[in-house]
Structure formats: C-alpha cells, structure tokens
C-alpha cells in the first residue's frame, strides 16, 4: 500500500476484478451542502451506485492519507466537520498530507485520487470553471486543467451556474477536453437543463460515452472527458429565477470581499438562502442522477476493458513512421 494512499478493500477487489467502480467527491459534502443533508446525500449516492451494480468510492483526505472508499464513520466525520475540514484542490493535496490533516477533495483532487487508484469514472454535481470577471480576477478553477491532464471521466450536470459558461467551454476546447452531452446537444446549466451552448459531441447512451473513453485512452490521448447530464426536469429551476438569484449572491460576495477557494461555498450557501432551499433540492437531485449515470458508464467501460480492444477495421490504412 502506498504511503499516502489507501484504497478500501471492496474498491480494491472490484478494481482487481475489473468490475465497475465510481469515484465520488467530498467537497460537495463538506462545503457544498448543510449538515445533516450532506451526510444523507453522501449515503444516498453510495446506495444509488450500488443499486446500479457498481462499487462507490468516496474520496477524501483523512489523517493525512488519501482515502479512496470511505466507511460510514468517515462520512459522518467529513459531513460534521463543516468548514474545519479543508477544501483540497491539486495545490493543497501535498500540504494536507504533510500536515496529516483532514480535507475534502474537489473535482481536481478527486480526479487525481481516482487516477492513482485506477478508477476511470467519477460523479459529481458540477465542476469548477472560469468565473465571471475572470478577465480581471484570473479566477479559473484548477478543475479545468485537471480535466486536461488526468485520465478520468467526470460525470456532472455542467459547471457551477455562477460561472462564465461560454468561457469555461472555450477553455475546455483549447485544452482538448471532449465535452459530451448525454441525450443532449447543449451544455447543461446545473440548475437548468440547458445553457443553450453546444457541447462538443452528443452521446445517446452510457455505452457511447464508454466507447469515447476507450478510444481516447487507447490512442494515448491523455486527459479527462467531461460527460454532462441535464438535471431531471422535475427538479430543474427556471433559468431566469436562477440568474436573478445568482446576481444577488455574486453582489453579496463582492461586497463582503469573498475571494479564492471560499467563493464557491459562499455562493452556494447564499443561493440556498435566496431560493429558500430550492437550489439545495436541485443540487441533491442532480448529483443523484449523475451518480446513477456514472455507474452505467462505468459498467459499460468495464465491459469494454474486459473484452479487450475493439477489433481494428480491416480497411484501416496503416500509418507509417
């Protein structure tokens, strides 16, 4: 076992047998939702992944080790820790390990852990991205560069609604990250089903997503894939209402001088207040949907792995060096 990494026995067994595993992040538990709803959600996500026949692996740093696969006591500790639990992105991981601290992992840090463990598919709510006003603040989430470099498929409902979505998509395009829409040709807008902005490719089944992963990584094209899934219609919030709430939350963040890693947790909590809890309900519903979808993608991908490479087309031209 790696000195900084420990993989839960059920997760390790599933990986060794090439059975489907889905990684889950913990920042959304520790910093994205209030207690005890966060704990209930963390448990529910694991149960949903299991119902779909995959093994859940929630990721966090506990006592200075990256833990892939948590037990219920671990989940309680993270969920109750609130803001005493550090928020860990790529830059923060080595510091937290050295200090033997506890921390919740963002999308970027969870991707790193998933990759170390050999997990290909990871479900979350929304990724970080390019913030509004990034042309002056330079606030671009490390999640985007992680997607560019780390071989993990991230299943989400788009990027956080508070971001600049066109700039986020431009950045992903520049860095060569496929943005797939599952059953949609447009990029989901987290609380709303569509941003109106085109994704790079539409896929109509988890199997189709799995084939993209297989093709990308068999080719040696490193880096992640973003698989986006719209929020279920019954949980979606009207786009105009969302925009108005976001405008208020952003103005509040600015007047209170909130910057850096604190911005996302602040905005999510403000939105929850402003929408009287509806943003939280939407968040829970979309993450559950993403976890289920991720389990199906993981199952399809595990199937492709077990079957070996797809047969080459007989007519494929030979490439000569």
Active site residues: 25, 160
| Residue 89 near ligand PSU by CB under 6 A | yes
Point out the residue whose Cβ comes nearest to Mn ion.
139
- Kindly identify the residues of this chain, within the stretch 5-44, that bind Mn ion according to CB under 5 A: none
The reply to whether 223 sits near ligand PSU by the rule CB under 6 A is no
Question: What are the C-alpha distances in Å from 21 to residues 58, 109, 126, 187, 207?
Answer: 10, 17, 20, 25, 15
- C-alpha neighbours within 13 Å on the C-beta side of residue 225: 25
Minimum CB separation of residue 168 from ligand PSU in Å reads: 11
Q: Which of 195, 118, 107 is nearest to 144 (CA)?
A: 107
Residue 150 as a binder of ligand PSU (CB under 6 A): the answer is: no
- Facing residues of 57 across strands? 23
Phi, psi of 190 (to 5 degrees): 60, -95
Selection from Mn ion, ligand PSU, none that 89 binds (CB < 5 to 8 A by kind) is ligand PSU
45 part of the interface to ligand PSU, by CB under 6 A: no
Binding segment for ligand PSU (CB under 6 A), chosen from 2-10, 23-31, 46-54, 115-123, is 23-31
Among 31, 86, 90, 270, which residue sits at the site for ligand PSU (rule: CB under 6 A)? 31
Size of the site for ligand PSU (CB under 6 A): 19
Q: Can residue 27 be called a binding residue for ligand PSU (CB under 6 A)?
A: yes
Q: Does 145 bind Mn ion (CB under 5 A)?
A: no
- In angstroms, how far is CA 145 from the centroid of its own chain? 13
Task: Name which position in 41, 58, 106, 150 contacts ligand PSU (CB under 6 A).
Answer: 106
Q: Which stretch binds ligand PSU (CB under 6 A): 1-9, 25-33, 56-64, 73-81?
A: 25-33
Given Mn ion, ligand PSU, none, residue 193, with its beta carbon under 5 to 8 Å by kind, binds none
268 binds, among ligand PSU, Mn ion, none (CB under 5 to 8 A by kind): ligand PSU
Which of 12, 21, 25, 282 forms a contact with ligand PSU (CB under 6 A)? Answer: 25
The 3-state secondary structure of the chain reads: CCCCEEECHHHHHHHHCCCCEEEECCHHHHCCCCCCHHHHHHHHHHHHHHHCCCEEEEEEEECCEEEECCCHHHHHHHHHHHHHCEEECHHHHHHHHHCCCCEEECHHHHHHHHHHHCCCEEECCCECCEECCHHHHCCECHHHHHHHHCCCEEEECEECCCECHHHHHHHHHHCCCCEEEECCCECCECCECCCCCECCEEECCHHHHHHHHHHHHHCCCCCCEEEECCCCHHHCCCHHHHHHHHHHHHHHHHHCCCCHHHHHHHHHHHHHHHCCCHHHHHHHHHHHHHHHHHHHHHHHHHHHHHHCCCCCCCCCCCCCC
Partner whose binding site includes residue 25, from Mn ion, ligand PSU, none (CB under 5 to 8 Å by kind)? ligand PSU
Which range, of 132-140, 143-151, 241-249, 286-294, touches Mn ion by CB under 5 A? 132-140
The owner of tokens 């788009």 is 158
> Residue from 10, 139, 145, 207 that binds Mn ion (CB under 5 A)?
139
Report the site for ligand PSU in 237-266 (rule: CB under 6 A): 261, 264
Piece of 21-29, 57-65, 247-255, 312-320 that binds ligand PSU (CB under 6 A): 21-29
Q: Is residue 252 close enough to count as binding Mn ion by CB under 5 A?
A: no
Contacts with ligand PSU, residue ranges (CB under 6 A)? 25, 27-28, 31-32, 89, 106-107, 125-128, 141-143, 160, 261, 264, 268
Contacts with Mn ion, residue ranges (CB under 5 A)? 139
């Amino acid at each position: 076992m790696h000195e900084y990494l420990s993989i839960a026995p059920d997760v390790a067994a599933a990986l060794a047998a090439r059975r489907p595993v889905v990684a889950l992040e913990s920042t959304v538990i520790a910093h994205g939702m209030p207690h005890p709803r966060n704990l209930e959600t963390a448990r529910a996500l694991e149960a949903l992944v299991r119902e779909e026949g995959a093994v859940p692996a929630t990721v966090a740093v506990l006592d200075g080790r990256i833990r892939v696969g948590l037990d219920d006591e671990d989940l309680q500790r993270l969920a109750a820790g609130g803001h005493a639990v550090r928020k860990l992105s790529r830059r923060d991981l080595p510091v937290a390990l050295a200090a033997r601290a506890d921390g919740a992992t963002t999308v970027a840090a969870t991707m790193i852990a998933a990759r170390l463990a050999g997990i290909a598919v990871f479900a979350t709510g929304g990724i970080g991205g390019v913030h509004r006003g990034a042309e002056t603040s330079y606030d671009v989430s490390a999640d985007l560069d992680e997607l560019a470099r780390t071989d993990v498929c991230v299943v989400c409902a788009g990027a956080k609604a508070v971001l600049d979505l066109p700039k986020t998509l431009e950045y992903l395009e520049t860095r060569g990250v496929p943005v797939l829409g599952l059953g949609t040709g447009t990029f989901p807008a987290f609380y709303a089903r569509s941003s109106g902005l085109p994704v790079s490719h539409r896929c109509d089944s988890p199997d189709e997503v799995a084939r993209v992963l297989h093709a990308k990584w068999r080719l040696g094209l490193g880096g992640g894939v973003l698989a986006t899934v719209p929020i279920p219609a019954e949980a979606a919030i009207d786009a105009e209402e969302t925009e108005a709430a976001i405008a208020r939350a952003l103005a509040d963040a600015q007047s209170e001088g909130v910057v850096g890693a604190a911005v996302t947790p602040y905005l999510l909590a403000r939105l929850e207040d402003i929408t009287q809890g509806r943003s939280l309900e939407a968040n829970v519903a979309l993450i559950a949907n993403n976890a289920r979808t991720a389990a199906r993608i993981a199952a399809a991908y595990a199937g492709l792995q077990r079957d070996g490479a797809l047969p080459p087309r007989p007519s494929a031209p030979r490439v000569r060096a």
